[in-house]
């Protein structure tokens, strides 16, 4: 495997990810939109690039950034965190630009040696529902925020591009040693959805999952996890192969097909306490004022399953939320 990786967006997640990959022997090209951060990347032995994506062009040496890398990790958000579900047209247009930026980026990826794209998406592609349900990667997306809708559109854009393989990582709410939503909810009143469920993932596990995909290689992970029952089922479903159920050549052909599929992964810690239970517990631990939850409305929510990533990659979550 080529040991060089390009990371578009060396921010809260991208920078520590780059450091972790460097420790594993990879060479990293990293991008930022701020000139002030170029020296930080360089200090951490990351080859720095000043890249700014626009809807109709890219400012910066994008081909130099992609050159000789086979893997590109895209970790840039569509923006408007904490947005309301209904936005004025100007703010909607601002988010819509994200899709156009990704279209422009895709044309440059096509010209490069990139073979695999890892796109950091979000579980916001699933809306909260009542009654609360468990969502897997097979659940149809149904975002109720503008940024969620644009993430879905970008996912489809990348997955539909035949020039490279795409892995979509739908991370839950991101937390870390320096980042936790209770700091913003402490002492607030009328907080909604007390009986909704938490779907968070720690920064350390985000990095661990990406490392697992890269180090083990998704193709090998798929090969390891495809059991004989799945192989047999695929053989039986093809009339032309029914007589060859025990033929190793046929099995290998099926495995080869599976190995080249794009993939979508939900990535959320397996613990799912209710919002009220969780935030009250964290407030007490951090010695913060308890948030007061509204009790007169029905709680909506979702439970995101990460069973696929645990099975397919053999990944065990390291950090409890």
Query: What is the per-residue pLDDT for 81?
Result: 41
Scan for tokens 């879905």, then name that residue: 152
Query: What is the per-residue pLDDT for 216?
Result: 74
Scan for tokens 């397919």, then name that residue: 312
Reported as type and span, the H/E element at residue 221 is helix 218-225
pLDDT tens for 162-214 read 999 999 999 999 999 999 999 999 999 999 999 999 999 999 999 999 999 99
Query: What is the per-residue pLDDT for 130?
Result: 94
Query: What is the per-residue pLDDT for 233?
Result: 62
127, 143 contact by CB (below 8 A): yes
Query: What is the per-residue pLDDT for 189?
Result: 95
Query: How many other C-beta atoms lie within 10 A of the C-beta of residue 136?
Result: 14
Q: Which residue positions in the chain have pLDDT lower than 50? A: 80-87, 89, 218, 221-222, 228, 244, 251, 254-259
- Predicted TM-score (pTM) of this structure: 0.84
- 308-313: list long-range contacts, CB under 8 Å, 24+ apart: 308/136, 308/137, 308/265, 308/266, 309/209, 309/265, 309/266, 309/267, 311/225, 312/221, 312/222, 312/225, 312/263, 312/265, 313/209, 313/212, 313/213, 313/216, 313/218, 313/221
Query: What is the per-residue pLDDT for 166?
Result: 96
pLDDT tens for 24-46 read 999 999 999 999 999 999 999 99
């Amino acid at each position: 495997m080529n040991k060089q990786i390009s990371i578009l967006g060396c921010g809260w997640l991208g920078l520590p990810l780059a450091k972790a990959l460097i420790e594993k022997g990879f060479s990293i090209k990293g991008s930022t939109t701020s000139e002030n951060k170029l020296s930080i990347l360089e200090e951490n032995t990351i080859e720095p690039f000043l890249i700014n994506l626009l809807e109709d062009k890219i400012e910066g040496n994008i081909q130099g950034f992609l050159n000789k890398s086979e893997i590109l990790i895209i970790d840039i958000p569509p923006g408007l965190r904490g947005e309301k579900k209904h936005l004025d047209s100007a703010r909607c247009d601002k988010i819509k630009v994200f899709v156009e930026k990704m279209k422009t980026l895709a044309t440059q990826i096509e010209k490069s040696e990139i073979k695999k794209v890892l796109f950091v998406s979000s579980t916001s592609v699933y809306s909260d529902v009542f009654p609360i349900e468990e969502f897997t990667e097979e659940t149809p997306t149904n975002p109720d925020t503008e940024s969620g809708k644009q993430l879905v559109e970008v996912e489809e854009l990348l997955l539909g591009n035949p020039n490279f393989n795409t892995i979509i990582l739908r991370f839950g709410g991101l937390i870390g040693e320096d980042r936790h939503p209770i700091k913003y909810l402490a002492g607030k009143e009328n907080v909604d959805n007390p009986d909704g469920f938490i779907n968070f993932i720690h920064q350390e596990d985000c990095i661990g999952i990406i490392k697992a995909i890269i180090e083990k290689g998704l193709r090998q992970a798929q090969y390891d996890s495809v059991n004989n029952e799945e192989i047999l089922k695929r053989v039986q479903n093809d009339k032309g192969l029914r007589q060859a159920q025990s033929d190793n050549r046929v099995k290998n052909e099926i495995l080869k097909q599976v190995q080249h599929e794009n993939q979508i992964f939900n990535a959320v810690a397996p613990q799912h306490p209710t919002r009220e239970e969780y935030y009250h517990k964290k407030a007490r631990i951090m010695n913060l004022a308890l948030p007061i939850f509204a009790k007169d409305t029905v709680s909506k929510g979702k439970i995101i399953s990460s069973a696929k990533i645990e099975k397919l990659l053999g990944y065990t979550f390291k950090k409890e939320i």
